[in-house]
Amino acid sequence: MSQTNRLSSGGLIDRRKPLSFQYNGKQYQGYEGDTLASALLANGVDIIGRSFKYSRPRGIVAAGAEEPNAVMQIGASEATQIPNVRATQQALYEGLVSSATNGWPNVDFDVMSYVGKIGGKMMPPGFYYKTFMWPQTMWPTYEKYIRKAAGLGRSSTMKDPDQYDTLNHHCDVMIVGAGPTGLAAARAAAATGARVIIADEQEMFGGSLLSSRELINGKPAIDWVRTVVDELSANPDVVMLPRSTVNGYHDHNFVTIHERRADHIGDRAPVGMTRQRMHRVRAHWVVLATGAQERPLVFAHNDVPGVMLASAVTTYIERFGVVPGNELVLMTSNDDAYLTALSWASTGRKVVAVVDSRAKADGDLVKQVIDKGIRVIFGSAVYDVDGGTRVKAARISGLTADGKKLTGKSETLSCDTIASSGGWSPVVHLSCHTGSRPVWDDNIIGFVPGETQQKQLIAGGIRGHYDLLDCLTEGMNCGYVAAERSGYGPVGKRPEYKVARIRRSPAMPLFLVPHLKPISQAPKQFVDLQNDVTSAGIELATREGFESIEHVKRYTAMGFGTDQGKLGNINGMAITAQVLGKSIAETGTTVFRPNYTPITFGAIAGRNCGELFDAKRYSAMQPWHEENGALFEDVGQWKRPWYFPKSGETMQQSLNREVLAVRNSVGILDASTLGKIDIQGKDAREFLARVYTNAWAKLGVGKCRYGLMCKEDGMVFDDGVTSCLAENHFLMTTTTGGAARVLEWLELYHQTEWPELEVYMTSVTDHWATMTISGPNSRKLLAQLTDDIDLDKDTFKFMDWRPGTVAGVPARVFRISFTGELSYEINVSANHGLQVWKKLMEVGKQYDITPYGTETMHVLRAEKGFIIVGQDTDSTLTPYDLGMGWAVAPTKPFSFIGKRGMAREDAVKPNRKQLVGLMAKKPDVVIPEGSQAVANPNQPIPMTMLGHITSSYYSATLGRSIAMGLIRGGLDRMGETVYYPQADGSVIEAEICSPVFYDPKGDRQNV
Amino acid sequence: MLHIFCPHCGEYREEEEFRCKGQAHIARPLDPEACSDEEWGHFMFFRQNTRGQHRELWVHSTGCRKHFNVIRNTVTYEIEKVYLVGTKPETEGAAS
Amino acid sequence: MEKYSALGLLKHSLSNHENWPRLWHNPTPKKKYDIIIVGGGGHGLATAYYLAKNHGITNVAVLEKGWLGGGNTARNTTIVRSNYLWDESARLYEHALKLWEGLSQDLNYNVMFSQRGVYHLCHTLQDIRDNERLVSANRLNGIDNEMIDAEQLQREIPLLDCSRNTRFPVLGASVQRRAGNARHDAVAWGYARAAAALGVDLIQQCEVVDMVIENGAITGVKTRQHGVIKADRVGCVAAGNSGVLAKMAGFELPVESHPLQALVSEPIKPVLDTVVMSNHVHGYMSQSDKGDLVIGAGIDSWVGYGQRGSYSIIEHTIQAIVEMFPAVSRVRMNRQWGGIVDTCPDACPIITATPVRNLFFNCGWGTGGFKATPGSGHVFAETLALGKAAPLAEPFSMFRFHSGALIDEHGAAAVAH
């Protein structure tokens, strides 16, 4: 298909580089430098989508981020699908595959449009709130169809093959927008030596100058752009980011930029190239040079393909060499849009008329148009459009001076394109992200940024200053000011810009062009094209009481599309104000929030998924665990061996084997992950006494003690063994998951409550490899590996520790036990861990030493009734509730943390839940963990629950199941029966007992 | 995204390095046993929750692990002052 | 109140929708009301509705400083569920869920309550234990909830990555199938319309700046726009500003106000027909009827009234979402926003009498207020009508923070909503 709308010369495209692409299954050609939108227009494609609610045919309206209609599905393969790409922001590349997102069977012939035509009147805003209620049971069915009709493009169903990353920057001056203002600012700031970042969402720098015919210093503007770009490129302190949207402006001058590095080559990007990158910028000063977007006028049938923004038409002609039609009617309320008529006329195609809502205008551009012999109709407006799938004619009529009513006769102007302009709306979005509200300015007929807390300067179009010379000058000044405030400059000689000023006649505030009929009866006048919001819809919303602009927005869905109302919101606010009889300033605006334009999830996630989602921590013995077939359990960030299955074993068989090995001979556990905090200082002992519930005053060097920690509320939050290494030196252990939390908590108390205590704490978790050998043969094993530690049972007692050498390596050996067996916890420096572990395995062979994991450890400790904080406790249990009053020393002189809390009314009331042992009446039944106990399983629901099972296992040692759990008043209810109703309807009967199931006197650990 | 000056490290660092520990200057009662349940509950749970100028405790958790106080506006999020634990700021910033 | 129906819609379309009545009016406040409700969000409007409907008290004003339903009602991620752990909260949320089930018909306003199920993912053995505990407690409380394993989960939610290839592989999930979503704005509007129809005065742009307290009892409120308005009883339901109101009344609350952020993608064709939440990787997602992926982000650690939080929270959330749903990596995030949530130390709300007689507070819903809207309103209406805590509200007194009778729902609430 030929490019019927392409000019033979002009524009910034490269006609020597044709590109073929696919749209809706058909092949087309465009050129390098095209966007998908300009290429489609060049090929005369009118319909590029169907509207959301009424399925009306829609065409391309704009040339940038404000495009509401041309929202495409892109991607040549399933894995590379991208939904909702704005064709106006997608660079064309060879082989690009695109399709429209709505329409069945296709966009040119869409069955839903008939539903829209017939049912459209039945679908005013909020219609779904008023219907689909009867019968109640039918709602899921109604909703299924509503959902089917919703959504634009589709997500890929596969894992994203592309890579994304993140870059952090600091800079002195961050410039947003590389149009004339931004470039002038960058040039100025860079000249001072400041570090500058300049970002622009377009493919190339230049902004409005890319489609301008103005001269700067006597030369075409594009030449100036190229000069400045070259100059900035040569400066090592300037980072230039084209194809990069500043999507968010956050507190304390933090700016996020979404750079699209490979989207302009799409599926053709080389393997491994980062597709997109998020820049996280902390800037001293930010210069917003975001310019302005043109506002269309709202009139009946203004959504027919061929109705476009005036400035977009100019852009397509001047930048892309594409004339999107043959016969133009230009409708405007201001001088700037006359440029469109001049551009169009210069291509040799026909300008039918310029329809100007103002009674008169005599600015330079107006004069030029009139001089060219183009018909200009003042005091008139296009109020309706003929045509279904393409504009056929514009209906015009006279307009009263206030723009509220049509007057005089109507006239029909035959044409295929209607360009409209209601003036400019400054792009204030970013200035609002940190909570600043924009302010309405009658002079420029638009919102400008309000006051802000940020170190932010604004220049050019965002202030409503549109004259090129003003933009260059303001940009330059802001660049210098920002640099100076960041500590650079001043610069002596400033460049001078010579630009011929264009004299403009005053614009007219016009938003909605009235129709012959009142709003409610006129044909649809679209405000938000993507969401099919009409002026009648807005009027209806206010009629029903939705008068706040936020209510209007939410009731009509105005501005909720992927264009976020860039095109329609101001018109919507103006129409709301009009129907309420208020001013726009009174009506106000909704709040703009990030993002400025949508950004890819993958880009925000960056590399932080999969392996890098969270750090993985391994002990020094990890290679051995992996070689020996361990399965792993996630505990915090750690990967801990869960158990070590042998081939052919079920999990239970593995656990039984591991448990019995410990009870009968010797097992070995990697305990390196337990938190270890080194505590020193002359007040270390006093400090321990304050943070633990039990006493520490008399713990001698070489001794270890178990301790419980509570929060101020008296509830247990961590536990562990602390050893006295020297008079003023202790080693504290914590739970694996609680290590960091405990250290921060200790620091908090030391630094804020008791700074007078001389105590120092540091984490040494990673410094040590810890292996626990446990079982009756553990002493014999250890004896074979050390010759400088006296292992005699009466000198190296239970709860002692000794320094020495194990397997030829300096070690600390702690005789503590979490299994109830004779146990030694051997600590060596992490670097020696693997070697010592292997040695233990080698020498231990004669005892059939058996590695065991966390699950076996859990069974072993449960047999002994030892708690695991976080499993047997939640944050609601005092030490007394756990039957661990022995670990509380209420007579300590200092009121330790938790003491007062555990004395509160609720903490001492009778019948609290308490931790007990539970034995199922059927010894082979393991009560599922989490099961709730009841006294009577036949009571009606809701049942009165007594507490839940916290730990439950099959104990190979005892040859039966065991469990620990909470029971209301449980410590006084030994021997009573409770019932555990299960999801399948069965009930498990169990007897309350002591949680110490095995060796209650502790003989085995004291041998 | 707050940019916070750590008075111990002597430089501005990103918010992600810090953790906010809530309202500052909540002293643990010296004699907890003398407190009623109500007083103890207040110490633990009840907060000013100020809208505007707020004094709060922060910790440079992935930096120097030290705590310090901040006066921050909870509406604008501007940080007016940073000062050491155990000190009071010399001048009060203007409440907004 | 004109009854809404499809037939009515047809009738009105014939007159170009020119005759639809207002949902509510803008009355001038009276000098005195029986009851003033401060806060015109979902909870406040529901309270007004049930006061009028269930207790026959219609001399009621709702004072709203902005626009109706403009606070967290307009900013949440619309999840409704009742699978809470402790009896006290489970009963309250289940009471709400039962009201949700007939709400559209009761209000004659389609709040689009959709019972599409809510899944809580388990990534660790402790997650499994916690969810087993929750499921067991829920079932014995008469609340539906069930455990499913990873294979079944994968069948039910194809989009979710249940493979072993993730950093924290999914081991299983609990699912409450009666849970789901509703259309948040419609809830406020539906209650407002129904309350207004029963005679309640809804007064927007009316900010309370002080409390009028005489001899330890409240007698009215002072407003910025309308001066003092008197009342026999006052109920404050102003999430995000409860602390500010409490200060006016001269006391503190065990509440802190934090930013809570949320975000949506661009609308895409349906890929997810349920709600998936993971406390462990800190993310949750559903898809709206419009096609947006609706994603809840975490809570900032500091007090903030600015309705915005830190970008790093958004980053972590998106990382979690892409980790859970790798196929949506190429979908784009459209908008983000923040609300102000009043958080309690035990992640449970406060529905309470206060140190000031005749002044009641309903606050501290943290991240989970939306789902409770009908229940909260129902129970608070009863509390205001009785002049003391309704039975379901009793455990939620602010004085539990003195006695220590907390209801710790951190496990069930966590990131979750």
Enumerate the domain spans of chain B.
3-26+38-84
* CA of B91 vs chain A CAs: smallest distance (Å): 21
- What would you report as the CA-atom Rg of chain B, rounded to the nearest whole angstrom? 15
Q: What is the pLDDT of residues B48-89, one digit of tens each?
A: 999 999 999 999 999 999 999 999 999 999 999 999 999 988
**What pLDDT score was predicted for residue B93?**
44
CB B60 within 8 A of CB B8: yes
Q: Is the backbone of residue A775 left (phi > 0), alpha (psi -120 to 50) or beta?
A: left
Q: What is the pLDDT of residues C314-351, one digit of tens each?
A: 999 999 999 999 999 999 999 999 999 999 999 999 99
CATH class, domain B3-26+38-84, is: alpha beta
Q: Between β-strands A82-86 and A631-635, what pairing exists: parallel, antiparallel or unpaired?
A: unpaired
* CA of B96 vs chain C CAs: smallest distance (Å): 13
**What pLDDT score was predicted for residue A25?**
95
Chains touching A (at least 3 CB pairs under 8 A) are B, C
Q: What is the pLDDT of residues A389-448, one digit of tens each?
A: 999 999 999 999 999 999 999 999 999 999 999 999 999 999 999 999 999 999 999 999
Beta bridge partners of A293: A425
**What pLDDT score was predicted for residue C416?**
36
- Chain centroid to Cα C376, Å, comes to 9
pLDDT at B94 over 50: no
**What pLDDT score was predicted for residue A133?**
86
Q: Between β-strands A406-414 and A417-421, what pairing exists: parallel, antiparallel or unpaired?
A: unpaired
Farthest-apart Cα atoms in chain C, separation: 66
Q: Which residues of A touch B35 (CB under 8 A)?
A: 900
Nearest-CB residue to A122 (from C10, C70, C281): C10
Look at C319 and A604 and tell me if their CB atoms are within 8 Å: yes
Interface of A with C in 401-430 (CB under 8 A): none
pLDDT band at A861 (very low <50, low <70, confident <90, very high): very high
Residue-wise burial string across A855-884, b where 16 or more C-beta atoms lie within 10 A, e elsewhere: bbbbbbbbbbbbbbbbbbbbebbbbbbbbb
Nearest-CB residue to A930 (from C24, C135, C270): C135
Look at A713 and B44 and tell me if their CB atoms are within 8 Å: yes
pLDDT at C412 over 80: no
Decide: helix, strand or coil at residue B84. strand
CB C184 within 8 A of CB C43: no
Domain A770-846 sits in CATH at: 3.30.1360.120
Residue in the block written with tokens 């979402």: C321
**Rounded Cα distance, A33 and A39, in Å:** 10
What CATH superfamily classification does A670-763+878-906 receive?
A: Aminomethyltransferase beta-barrel domains (3.30.70.1400)
Distances (CA, A) of C119 to A1007, C109, C169, C170: 51, 28, 15, 12
Three-point CA angle A606, A612, A615, nearest 5°: 140
State the CATH architecture for A14-130: Roll (3.10)
Residue-wise burial string across C308-343, b where 16 or more C-beta atoms lie within 10 A, e elsewhere: bbbbbbbbbbbbbbbbbbbbbbbbbbbbbbbbbbbb
**What pLDDT score was predicted for residue B95?**
36
pTM: 0.96
Q: Is the backbone of residue A24 left (phi > 0), alpha (psi -120 to 50) or beta?
A: left
Decide: helix, strand or coil at residue C317. helix
Nearest-CB residue to C345 (from B15, B45, B75): B45
Q: How would DSSP label each residue in C112-158?
A: --B---EEEEE-SHHHHHHHHHHHHHHHHTT---EEEEHHHHHHH-T
Distances (CA, A) of A373 to A71, A412, A813, C100: 38, 20, 101, 68
Look at A251 and B33 and tell me if their CB atoms are within 8 Å: no
* CA of B49 vs chain A CAs: smallest distance (Å): 20
Nearest-CB residue to C310 (from B1, B23, B56): B1
Domains A164-289+426-485 and A294-423+507-515 share a fold: yes
Q: Between β-strands A163-176 and A219-220, what pairing exists: parallel, antiparallel or unpaired?
A: unpaired
- Cβ-based neighbour number of residue A751 at 10 Å: 18
**What pLDDT score was predicted for residue B96?**
33
Those residues with Cβ within 8 angstroms of residue C39's Cβ, 6 or more apart along the chain or in another chain: C62, C63, C64, C71, C236, C237, C238, C239, C241
Domain ranges of chain A: 14-130, 164-289+426-485, 294-423+507-515, 517-597, 670-763+878-906, 770-846
Look at B49 and C404 and tell me if their CB atoms are within 8 Å: no
Q: What is the pLDDT of residues A3-12, one digit of tens each?
A: 999 999 999 9
Burial class (CB in 10 A: 0-12, 13-18, 19+), C285: buried
**Rounded Cα distance, A480 and A188, in Å:** 6
Q: What is the pLDDT of residues C245-272, one digit of tens each?
A: 999 999 999 999 999 999 999 999 999 9
Report the C-alpha dihedral over residues A222, A228, A231, A233, rounded to 10 degrees: -80
Look at C310 and B44 and tell me if their CB atoms are within 8 Å: no
CB A438 within 8 A of CB A431: yes
> How many inter-chain contacts (B to C, CB under 8 Å) are there?
74
Q: How would DSSP label each residue in C169-219?
A: ---EEEEETT-EE--HHHHHHHHHHHHHHTT-EEE-S--EEEEEEETTEEE
Nearest residue of B to residue A454, measured between CA atoms: B78
Say if domain A517-597 classifies as CATH 1.10.10.1100.
yes
Q: Between β-strands A675-680 and C118-122, what pairing exists: parallel, antiparallel or unpaired?
A: unpaired
**Rounded Cα distance, A195 and A170, in Å:** 8
Look at A251 and B77 and tell me if their CB atoms are within 8 Å: yes
Q: What is the mean pLDDT of chain C?
A: 95
Q: Which residues of A touch C130 (CB under 8 A)?
A: 930
Look at B20 and C304 and tell me if their CB atoms are within 8 Å: no
Chains touching B (at least 3 CB pairs under 8 A) are A, C
Burial class (CB in 10 A: 0-12, 13-18, 19+), C91: buried
- What would you report as the CA-atom Rg of chain A, rounded to the nearest whole angstrom? 38
Query: What φ, ψ does residue A325 adopt, rounded to 5°?
Result: 170, -175
Beta bridge partners of C367: none
**What pLDDT score was predicted for residue A112?**
67
Say if domain A294-423+507-515 classifies as CATH 2.60.40.420.
no
Look at B45 and C401 and tell me if their CB atoms are within 8 Å: yes
Look at B85 and A435 and tell me if their CB atoms are within 8 Å: no
Distances (CA, A) of B43 to A23, A205, A752: 67, 58, 15
Q: What is the mean pLDDT of chain A?
A: 96
> How many inter-chain contacts (A to B, CB under 8 Å) are there?
63
**Rounded Cα distance, A40 and A316, in Å:** 11
CB A401 within 8 A of CB A510: no
- What would you report as the CA-atom Rg of chain C, rounded to the nearest whole angstrom? 21
Q: What is the pLDDT of residues A119-151, one digit of tens each?
A: 678 889 988 899 888 888 888 888 888 888 888
Nearest residue of C to residue A543, measured between CA atoms: C22
Which of A135, A176, A391 is closest to A286 using CA atoms?
A176
Nearest residue of A to residue B43, measured between CA atoms: A712
Q: What is the pLDDT of residues A718-727, one digit of tens each?
A: 999 999 999 9
Look at C401 and B41 and tell me if their CB atoms are within 8 Å: yes
Chains touching C (at least 3 CB pairs under 8 A) are A, B
Decide: helix, strand or coil at residue C52. helix
Mutation site, C352, C399, C402, interface B, largest B CB count within 10 A:
C402
Residue B66 sits at the chain A interface (C-beta within 8 Å) = yes
**What pLDDT score was predicted for residue C414?**
43
Which of C81, C160, C167, C159 is closest to C123 using CA atoms?
C167
Distances (CA, A) of A938 to A946, A987, C140: 15, 10, 11
Look at B51 and C253 and tell me if their CB atoms are within 8 Å: no
Residue A254 sits at the chain B interface (C-beta within 8 Å) = yes
State the CATH architecture for A164-289+426-485: 3-Layer(bba) Sandwich (3.50)
pLDDT band at A118 (very low <50, low <70, confident <90, very high): low
* CA of A901 vs chain C CAs: smallest distance (Å): 8
Look at A606 and C168 and tell me if their CB atoms are within 8 Å: no
Interface of C with B in 36-75 (CB under 8 A): none
Reading across the β-sheet that carries C118-122, which strands appear in turn?
A599-600, C332-343, C256-265, C293-299, C283-287, C275-278, C118-122, C172-176, C146-149
- Chain centroid to Cα A626, Å, comes to 35
Structure tokens at C205: 């742009």
Q: What is the ipTM score, two decimals?
A: 0.96
